[in-house]
A and B are shown apart, each in its own frame.
Chain A
Amino acid sequence: MSEHAVRQVSHESEESDDDQSGERAETPEGRPNEADTSESQTGASVVVRALESAGVETLFGVQGGAIMPVYDALGKSDLRHVTMAHEQAAAHAADAYGIVAGTPGVCLATSGPGATNLVTGLADADMDSDPVVALTGQVPTNFVGNDAFQETDTTGVTAPITKANYFAGDTDTVGDTVGEAFALASEGRPGPTLVDLPKDVTLAETDAGEPTAETPEHYNPQEKPDADAVAEAARTLETADRPLILAGGGVIKGDASPELRAFATGHDIPVATSMPAVGAFPEDHDRSVGMVGMHGTGPANMAVTHCDTLLAVGCRFDDRLTGGVDSFAPEATVIHIDIDPAEISKNVHAEVPVVGDAGATLAEIGEEMNSTPSVDDWREQISDWKEEYPMTYHAPEDGPVKPQFVVEAFDAATADDAIVTTGVGQHQMWAVQFWTFTEPRTWVSSHGLGTMGYGLPAAIGARMAAADDQQVVSFEGDGSFLMTVQELSVAVRENLDITVAVLNNRYIGMVRQWQDAFFDGNRVASEYDWCPDFATLAEAFGANGFTVDHPDEVADTVEAALAYDGPSVVDFHIDPDENVYPMVASGGANGKFALSEDQL
């Protein structure tokens, strides 16, 4: 929309404001008025129709002044709206919904504080390339720029943290704008998009036709890889002695898990994953080496350090994964498949860049390969590493409760397709390390932004997208849980069958671990001994609360919490001194992961 168009709309909207007190504006001559045959159509009802034609069923949001027309139209539709306690949670819920469903999650907020409260959730979705569509109310166009009540420059604020955003200044095209936002959120590399909806635009009547859902003409992500690049990748892999596949979040986003499994087993190449890709390859498969990075497994970090050919798929080489770039996969020829050309050679130089869709490209490279690399020695080396560096922990029988034990207990008590969401901190790392993930879209966590408080709202979003019989377990830390604990009210109101496991050590545990390791144990502002009794708190919200103090109580309580049909919260009083290992020091070499604090 040009500024010209916006001004025009603002002019028209002043007229339509006047019209509200009198008769509605006449239909422009010569244009069919579909609205005449039924109820009159407003910008807001077109927005809702655009949501319906995009296949949306569930939305997450919070009411407010400037978004009221959209809610009014929503109330007349069959769409399910989940009122959240805070807009940040609406964005996280939409994000988690998008991860589990594979289609964009939708969040709504009003102007000003409503929109700014979405910011953390949108930034989180942006870092993790999750498809989210945010709709925000805005003050009427003739007030925009005047510092009106609850006005914020929402498109300005969210520009750096959205894939695209729009100021929808025109009632006649607002449906197409919402449609475009949907198309862009999921096409190519997914990401969050936002449409800012001025109140006069959603209130005004329009005779616009069916909303379209198209990306801009020049937005054409290259899905089919270049044949020469595919051939070069195949030749490089055929001659590899120590090949390793590094699957990134793009494998999940691109639904490329089947192709990854076929490729890795067909060509006998071990698979490591980044944290967002957990579940893309079954972790109980003998070709799996686990997760690479700061808290990744020993075998994965050894394999990435010693491989001679690294096939990275849909991976952006985040610093938590690479450690120091100078020591990352130092001997490897890197083949990098990504649908986003800007990711290739951004952080780690790719000798063989392949732009394309993850699944299609893997399949093409597989077909192009004439032989499978001989990896007997390499396979033996990897299985040695698996024996040398098992994921384990010390658990004395008389207590205290070990967090890893809690994670394992939940894993054992749930089905393979159970969904795990987490907040951010030590508990998140224990969850990813000690749960055996075998299915894509079952690990829902905040990776790039590292947003504490993500777990509970994500569980709400995941619950909405999951199959009815799929279990949803959220691991939270005491500090992380407190950041969005108010969303328990939503889980109770909606009677959502989710189980929150609070791994409570009365610390901002990861900060405490770093303070002990790098700041001489100066535990400033990381001790949370003022934490509430979470079981009582859960009951105050109307949820089912449990407290666990001893390892003996874990199995039964896990069972009882999972059996409860509704939200339950288990407050696990865990060993407060337990730390997360293995650990690669920030900026350090992956191959030098520490197994205890004295190795840091």
Chain B
Amino acid sequence: MSGEDSTSQAGMPGPAPDERPHPDGRRNAHGVRIDPEADAEAERRTAVVSALVEHEPGVLSQVSGLFSRRQFNIESLTVGRTTVDGHARITLVVEETDHGIEQARKQLAKLPTVIQVGELDDNAVRAELVLLKVRGDEPDKVHAITEMYEGQTLDAGPRTITVQITGDQRKIDDAIDAFRQFGIIEIARTGQTALARGDTPTTPGEEPGHSTEPTDSGYETEAERGETNRSTTETN
């Protein structure tokens, strides 16, 4: 090689970027090949994802950590034990594009502590619980609204009334609107929990609920289970 043409910034041989042929096609932000004329932004939708997980310390933090690290937009998350020993169900409501929801499901399914993941359709049974603490100035009216939403009064005093409403998200939202007239002091919402309707399993291949570990006496097992339930309830 000769030293004459060599300067430190001489670079390499070959046609420059603009002298090369370039294809017309392209992909969108999700790597999908697109028609350049029709590049609509992917719309977000709300999805209910149900994950059957091993009931262990740390699982909830793994799941929530996964969602925060990957920037999935999570609306609500509920968790509780199932009828199968050692299993819990996490119900997540996510607002994402189809691509985001797909990724959330796949990444969730990858966690070794996650047994199965399913997405529920619109037909699924969904419910949420809300506790509302309102001003107690008009107890009769509060009672009437509570009845209207098939709720329960849990606590009533001279200054505050606390009621419980359960139902789907729209019903809860409507109820909260209706109670606003009295002055809402505090709200606690659980977020949605859900099951697939009818015979459809909530997560694919999910067995009908039973204990996987055979026991001698059902009654005793129930008692033991109650014991375990209290001592292992973890919030993480």
A residues adjacent to B (C-beta < 8 A): 1-4, 6-7, 155-156, 159-160, 163-164, 167, 184, 215-216, 218-219, 298, 302, 305-306, 317, 322, 325-332, 340-342, 345-349, 351, 388-398, 575, 577-579, 581-582, 589, 591-599
Contacts and interface: CB of A to CB of B under 8 A. Distances in A.
26 contacts: A1-B57, A3-B232, A4-B228, A4-B231, A4-B232, A167-B57, A167-B58, A184-B112, A219-B112, A326-B27, A330-B23, A348-B31, A391-B12, A394-B5, A395-B1, A396-B2, A396-B6, A397-B1, A578-B8, A579-B8, A579-B9, A581-B11, A589-B22, A595-B12, A596-B12, A597-B9
B129 to A, nearest CB: 25
B65 interface: yes
Contacts of B86: 2
B23 A331 contact: yes
Contact of A302 (B20, B99, B106, B113): B20
Nearest to A582: B12
A388 B20 CA distance: 11
Contact of B231 (A7, A317, A348): A7
Interface in B62-109: 62, 65-66, 69, 86, 99, 102-103, 106-107, 109
B45 interface: no
B33 to A, nearest CB: 7
A327 B58 CA distance: 41
A593 B23 contact: no
Given A4-B228, A326-B27, A218 B116 contact: yes
A351 to B, nearest CB: 8
Given A216-B54, A331-B23, A389-B14, 12 more contacts: A4-B228, A4-B231, A156-B58, A218-B115, A305-B23, A325-B31, A342-B107, A349-B27, A393-B12, A591-B20, A595-B11, A595-B13
B8 A575 contact: yes
Contacts of B99: 345
A392 B31 contact: no
Nearest to A189: B110
B188 interface: no
Interface of B: 1-3, 5-17, 20-33, 54-58, 61-62, 65-66, 69, 86, 99, 102-103, 106-107, 109-110, 112-113, 115-116, 228, 231-232, 234
A407 to B, nearest CB: 16
A600 B165 CA distance: 62
Contact of A2 (B57, B61, B115): B57
Nearest to B54: A216
Given A326-B28, A330-B33, A396-B3, A340 B110 contact: yes
A265 to B, nearest CB: 27
Nearest to A516: B9
Contacts of A331: 23, 25, 33
A124 to B, nearest CB: 17
Contact of A155 (B17, B58, B106, B228): B58
A254 B212 CA distance: 34
A342 B12 contact: no
B11 A159 contact: no
A325 B29 contact: yes
A275 to B, nearest CB: 19
Contacts of A348: 27, 31
B3 A159 contact: no
A326 B29 contact: yes
B219 to A, nearest CB: 21
Contacts of B107: 342
A599 B11 contact: yes
Contacts of B9: 577, 579, 596-598
A159 B65 contact: yes
B17 A2 contact: no
B27 to A, nearest CB: 5
Given A575-B8, A581-B12, A349 B26 contact: no
Contacts of A298: 12, 14
A302 B110 CA distance: 35
Which are the 7 A-B pairs with shortest beta-carbon distances? Answer: A596-B11, A396-B3, A394-B6, A348-B31, A577-B8, A342-B106, A330-B25
Contact of A597 (B11, B20, B54, B115): B11
A305 B66 CA distance: 33
A216 B57 contact: no
A395 B11 contact: no
A91 B145 CA distance: 63
Contacts of B56: 1-3
A327 B231 contact: no
B98 to A, nearest CB: 11
A482 B210 CA distance: 59
Contacts of B28: 326
A394 B109 contact: no
A595 B17 CA distance: 8
B62 to A, nearest CB: 6
Nearest to A392: B12
Contact of A305 (B6, B22, B69): B22
A159 B58 contact: yes
A7 B231 CA distance: 10
A348 B5 CA distance: 42
B11 A341 contact: no
Contacts of A160: 65-66, 69
B109 A388 contact: no
B26 A591 contact: no
B106 A341 contact: yes
Given A326-B28, A595-B13, A346 B5 contact: no
Nearest to B104: A342
Contacts of B27: 325-330, 348-349
Nearest to A381: B21
A595 B14 contact: yes
Contacts of A393: 12
Contacts of A389: 12-14
Contact of B23 (A155, A156, A306, A322): A306
Contacts of B33: 330-332, 349, 351
A382 B31 CA distance: 25
A330 B22 CA distance: 10
Contacts of A593: 17
A351 B32 CA distance: 9
B31 to A, nearest CB: 4
Contacts of A599: 11, 16-17
A278 B1 CA distance: 28
A342 B234 contact: no
A388 B115 CA distance: 53
Contacts of A395: 1, 6
B41 to A, nearest CB: 14
A340 B106 CA distance: 9
Nearest to A342: B106
B9 to A, nearest CB: 5
Given A219-B112, A302-B20, A578-B8, A345 B31 contact: yes
A332 B33 CA distance: 8
B197 to A, nearest CB: 25
A84 B171 CA distance: 62
